[in-house]
Chain A
């Protein structure tokens, strides 16, 4: 479902060229959950951002289902994110001026793929019922991340990308949130690629891929 082929990316900082990804190959099958691990600076988040179409690679190819990201402009990549990708960040990135209910339906609404039954199921499974009228600032970190997962899965994406989704949570909350995410991923049958530092959490997914100095170790 996802294929990453010979992907490279470098950044220029203070006049110096730093190669972050040096030819990464990766594949995630439909329904498969993959943990992307590696030390700080190994290029995990960069790889995730490139797959999400948030940034453009220098060379190589990313194919999501039958679509190549390198052939898409900004609008095309935005469309891909809208319909096929769900994104979860370490910092939750909820919209602070919207209630939990509005945050949850936001992506599915703008994608035109709102499914009321699925929405209700998400609310129930994520335990968000009593929080629907609250604003993000009134929630704990774990609660905010549950809303973020709900928002990302609401349009039923083909691929869920998560960048250190439990990085700001304590161990118990992290287990609980990840457990919920995995259940929902299983329920939708989408692919799941998660960047994490935690070997313990990585071990709970189907497969682990480690990045080292910009290449798959």
Chain B
């Protein structure tokens, strides 16, 4: 033990004498751990919220009985089933509007509610009496209370009647209101009805379902994954992919630092062996040293990861709310597993990054090989091997494009593409530098290119990191810009009305419509409404579009029958969103059946429209047909066409007359600005991670250059001796770094465009269901090229400045035997 400690002390003494190298190693590990664990923290936070939602009074985690067509059924079936031994509990679900905002209302029966159903303890025995006896209680999450702008005990109005007093239940998911089922039946005007029956753990034998309920109910088994989890999978996969990329870029730094430390400590390791340290003991202590450093860096990285996650959480929460309607709490709460996983990933990452060096240490002969160091032959072998590996990876990528048909396959294509490009980069650099060497005429020029080639093996990892970071930046930048431009054009078509009004309830909506018909400046009132249903097991929205020129002229259709809008009037046809058409492989002319309260609704598809940003599949039908098929659809939304100069006055009048606020009366410009804001916020996380990745790549380049600087002296000292000044040498070194960075950046541009194509044509289609047109933005490419060169300039500034100011004694020492 004491021997191991002595050896550890000797190994650690190296870092004391090379603090910059230690800093490099720690920075690499900290960056890798921080970015990875930060992203994992965000994912975990979101998944906790989904779990909370899924567990709310019989979400998908609970087995349940539902109506044959998804429609409500008589509550008497509940009584029949209970008598037959079924441990069921009724739930009635619907939506209500409070202050112009829509909330999910859940009516439960607390006495029969199975104990194992999530959120069941929320009611509690003590609160049971006040919950079920009039006026009852309405349980809400703290976030919902804030959203309503009310305090506990308040009784908001909905559907023309006062709701029970509000009571906060922290376990509840935001946006949900929970009341006794009897109260819910009154509020929703569905007396004696239930939406589903939750099934508790069976205590004894019971009669078959058919014998009690006939074919009116069907059993839904509990699902491990909720709709929200399915919908947000791609978003989290995206974040994870970025986290992984940053993690690997961080590991490039670690690999570079550990590799250099190993090379520098080689004489020390040999001396240790000569002094009687066995190879086994030496390797054990090397691993202990690395694990200790990874532990320290992992802890710091976790703290940084927490801070990154806390900084990004508001944007991620806004993205998830905007894209998927998912409610994520703004306060980070992390499980112990996150901390442990962070430490583990730091240690495993360090061991992986140091694997080559550790293997070398295991195989290291005590005696230095008598063979001369044939770097050129070694480099050629290494380049050939890497190029062969790159080509193999490209073949795999092509195979995945051809045969793969999933989001994972899409990301695998991206990963293979980038790995292949990283592996082939040194060969590309070698070819360009060899060409430069052959073209050079002056001796210093020849040396410039030849020496750049010799430096390749030391710099290639950092250049690979730079290549990946730049390519991802180009790819994601191109995708976001393509999306942005397409989105803006699409938004112009979708938000065609001049003013949007959202009434508190149907009665108020009728009053508003009557009032608006009296106003001469209003050219058209366009009623709107949407209903939720399931199609082939997945949630979809059914959107009602009134028969009006506004829609016929501007609704963004991607494909259509010639007489699509005319045929839509009849109520037996539908337009489907691009997402739904891709997911369900639906085409123009296909026939579908949509579950509706009155029975299946057969529809023919007459058009496909773009519906960016909507995770759910959507179909658009004639508005009148929608209200016939889904009579419970709130009719509170409407769009107005009117003269632009009269808009402000009308909005003010509407707000004053009907007590509506800014959220409920909005003009087109405000809606568009808000949509753009949500859009930009959605991609702000991507932009932040992009910047982090590029920053880490810059650090990788800096650390590689710093660590190479010392070992470069034997190459530079002879040139100094034969008459080049230190300043000239520094300038040449700077030029060399800039040259290889420029070649790398130029290679990164087409690679980045390829990444963008993959994102647009493969990943987006699989993840979101829409395909965007691929566009190239030259100015953006020029900007990134400048950023790459600036990063290279910053990274080389310190080592070059050091060289320019180096004391002659340091250079003379290269020639001294005493070295």
Q: Which residues of A contact B (CB under 8 A)?
A: 11, 13, 49, 52, 54-55, 74-75, 78-83, 85, 87, 89, 93-98, 102, 106-107, 109-112, 135, 140-141, 144, 151, 168
The A/B interface has a contact count, at CB < 8 Å, of 88
B14 at the interface (CB under 8 A from A): yes
Interface contact A95-B271, CB-CB below 8 Å: yes
Interface-facing stretch out of B364-372, B480-488, B769-777: B364-372
Interface contact A54-B274, CB-CB below 8 Å: yes
Q: Return A167 CB to nearest CB of chain B, in Å.
A: 9
- Per the bound structure, the CA–CA distance linking A11 and B365 in Å amounts to 14
Q: Which residues of chain A are near B371, meaning CB under 8 Å?
A: 13
Q: Contacts A95-B271, A97-B14, A141-B817 known; A49 to B278 CB distance under 8 Å?
A: no
Q: Which residues of chain B are near A87, meaning CB under 8 Å?
A: 274-275
Q: Contacts A95-B13, A98-B10 known; A107 to B276 CB distance under 8 Å?
A: yes
- Per the bound structure, the CA–CA distance linking A109 and B267 in Å amounts to 20
Residue-wise, chain B 365-387 has the 8 Å CB interface mask toward A (1 for contact) of: 11100110000000000000000
Nearest 9 pairs between A and B by C-beta? A82-B276, A78-B278, A97-B13, A81-B276, A75-B278, A97-B17, A54-B366, A107-B275, A93-B271
Q: Contacts A55-B367, A95-B268 known; A75 to B275 CB distance under 8 Å?
A: no
Interface contact A83-B276, CB-CB below 8 Å: yes
Apart from A55-B366, A75-B279, A98-B10, what 8 extra A-B contacts exist at CB < 8 Å?
A: A82-B276, A85-B276, A93-B270, A102-B10, A106-B10, A107-B275, A110-B275, A168-B818
Interface contact A74-B275, CB-CB below 8 Å: no
Tell me which residues from 481 to 517 in chain B have a Cβ below 8 Å from any Cβ of chain A.
Answer: none
Instruction: Return the contact of A93 from the options B10, B267, B281 (Cβ within 8 A).
Output: B267
7 pairs, CB–CB < 8 Å, chain A vs chain B = A11-B370, A13-B370, A13-B371, A94-B271, A97-B268, A107-B276, A110-B3
- Per the bound structure, the CA–CA distance linking A49 and B366 in Å amounts to 10
Interface contact A95-B276, CB-CB below 8 Å: no
Q: Which residue of A lies closest to B813 (CB)?
A: A137
Q: Which residues of chain A are near B366, meaning CB under 8 Å?
A: 54-55
- Per the bound structure, the CA–CA distance linking A151 and B279 in Å amounts to 20
Q: Which residue of A lies closest to B274 (CB)?
A: A87
Q: Contacts A11-B370, A109-B6 known; A52 to B13 CB distance under 8 Å?
A: no
- Per the bound structure, the CA–CA distance linking A13 and B369 in Å amounts to 11
B273 at the interface (CB under 8 A from A): yes
- Per the bound structure, the CA–CA distance linking A141 and B817 in Å amounts to 9
Interface contact B10-A97, CB-CB below 8 Å: yes
- Per the bound structure, the CA–CA distance linking A98 and B275 in Å amounts to 15
Q: Which residues of chain B are near A85, meaning CB under 8 Å?
A: 276
Chain B at the A interface: SS class: helix
Q: Which residues of chain B are near A55, meaning CB under 8 Å?
A: 365-367
The listed residue with most B CB atoms (<10 A of its CB), out of A49, A81, A83, A95, is: A95
Q: Which residue of B lies closest to A139 (CB)?
A: B818
- Per the bound structure, the CA–CA distance linking A140 and B813 in Å amounts to 12
- Per the bound structure, the CA–CA distance linking A87 and B817 in Å amounts to 20
Q: Which residues of chain A are near B735, meaning CB under 8 Å?
A: none
- Per the bound structure, the CA–CA distance linking A106 and B7 in Å amounts to 9
Residue-wise, chain B 116-158 has the 8 Å CB interface mask toward A (1 for contact) of: 0000000000000000000000000000000000000000000
Q: Return A87 CB to nearest CB of chain B, in Å.
A: 5
Interface contact B17-A81, CB-CB below 8 Å: no
B280 at the interface (CB under 8 A from A): yes
Q: Return A138 CB to nearest CB of chain B, in Å.
A: 11
Instruction: Return the contact of A102 from the options B13, B272, B274, B280 (Cβ within 8 A).
Output: B13
Interface contact B268-A96, CB-CB below 8 Å: yes
- Per the bound structure, the CA–CA distance linking A78 and B280 in Å amounts to 10
Q: Return B264 CB to nearest CB of chain A, in Å.
A: 9
Q: Which residues of chain B are near A141, meaning CB under 8 Å?
A: 817-818
Q: Return B279 CB to nearest CB of chain A, in Å.
A: 5
Q: Which residues of chain A are near B642, meaning CB under 8 Å?
A: none
Q: Which residues of chain A are near B13, meaning CB under 8 Å?
A: 95, 97-98, 102
- Chain B residues touching A, range: 20 to 34
B646 at the interface (CB under 8 A from A): no
Q: Which residues of chain B are near A111, meaning CB under 8 Å?
A: 276
Interface contact A93-B274, CB-CB below 8 Å: yes
Q: Which residues of chain A are near B281, meaning CB under 8 Å?
A: 75, 78
Interface contact B274-A110, CB-CB below 8 Å: no
Q: Which residues of chain A are near B267, meaning CB under 8 Å?
A: 93, 96
Q: Which residues of chain A are near B18, meaning CB under 8 Å?
A: 97
Q: Which residues of chain B are near A81, meaning CB under 8 Å?
A: 274-276
- Per the bound structure, the CA–CA distance linking A110 and B2 in Å amounts to 7
Interface contact B276-A110, CB-CB below 8 Å: yes
- Per the bound structure, the CA–CA distance linking A80 and B179 in Å amounts to 82
Q: Return A140 CB to nearest CB of chain B, in Å.
A: 7
Tell me which residues from 1 to 55 in chain B have a Cβ below 8 Å from any Cβ of chain A.
Answer: 2-3, 6-7, 10, 13-14, 16-18
- Per the bound structure, the CA–CA distance linking A89 and B275 in Å amounts to 12
Instruction: Return the contact of B276 from the options A49, A78, A94 (Cβ within 8 A).
Output: A78
- Per the bound structure, the CA–CA distance linking A168 and B278 in Å amounts to 29
Residue-wise, chain B 357-369 has the 8 Å CB interface mask toward A (1 for contact) of: 0000000011100
Interface contact A79-B276, CB-CB below 8 Å: yes
Instruction: Return the contact of B817 from the options A13, A98, A112, A168 (Cβ within 8 A).
Output: A168
Q: Which residue of A lies closest to B264 (CB)?
A: A96
- Per the bound structure, the CA–CA distance linking A75 and B279 in Å amounts to 7
Instruction: Return the contact of A106 from the options B6, B370, B818 (Cβ within 8 A).
Output: B6
- Per the bound structure, the CA–CA distance linking A97 and B269 in Å amounts to 12
Q: Which residues of chain A are near B273, meaning CB under 8 Å?
A: 54, 78
Q: Which residue of A lies closest to B270 (CB)?
A: A93
- Per the bound structure, the CA–CA distance linking A112 and B273 in Å amounts to 16
Q: Which residues of chain B are near A83, meaning CB under 8 Å?
A: 276
B654 at the interface (CB under 8 A from A): no
Q: Which residue of B lies closest to A73 (CB)?
A: B278
Q: Which residues of chain A are near B624, meaning CB under 8 Å?
A: none
Q: Which residues of chain A are near B713, meaning CB under 8 Å?
A: none
Interface contact B271-A112, CB-CB below 8 Å: no
Q: Which residues of chain A are near B17, meaning CB under 8 Å?
A: 96-97, 135
- Per the bound structure, the CA–CA distance linking A93 and B370 in Å amounts to 17
Q: Which residues of chain A are near B275, meaning CB under 8 Å?
A: 81-82, 87, 106-107, 110, 151
Interface contact A110-B268, CB-CB below 8 Å: no
Interface contact A52-B274, CB-CB below 8 Å: yes
- Per the bound structure, the CA–CA distance linking A87 and B275 in Å amounts to 7
Interface contact A112-B3, CB-CB below 8 Å: yes
B277 at the interface (CB under 8 A from A): yes
Interface contact B277-A78, CB-CB below 8 Å: yes
Q: Which residue of A lies closest to B280 (CB)?
A: A75
- Per the bound structure, the CA–CA distance linking A19 and B259 in Å amounts to 35
Q: Return A134 CB to nearest CB of chain B, in Å.
A: 13
The listed residue with most A CB atoms (<10 A of its CB), out of B275, B280, B281, is: B275
Q: Return B518 CB to nearest CB of chain A, in Å.
A: 90
Tell me which residues from 417 to 466 in chain B have a Cβ below 8 Å from any Cβ of chain A.
Answer: none
Q: Which residue of A lies closest to B267 (CB)?
A: A93
- Per the bound structure, the CA–CA distance linking A141 and B819 in Å amounts to 9
Q: Which residues of chain A are near B367, meaning CB under 8 Å?
A: 49, 54-55
Q: Which residue of B lies closest to A54 (CB)?
A: B366
Q: Return B167 CB to nearest CB of chain A, in Å.
A: 67
Q: Which residue of A lies closest to B265 (CB)?
A: A97
Q: Return B712 CB to nearest CB of chain A, in Å.
A: 18
Q: Return A34 CB to nearest CB of chain B, in Å.
A: 20
Instruction: Return the contact of B6 from the options A11, A110, A140, A168 (Cβ within 8 A).
Output: A110
The listed residue with most A CB atoms (<10 A of its CB), out of B6, B7, B270, is: B6
- Per the bound structure, the CA–CA distance linking A55 and B817 in Å amounts to 26
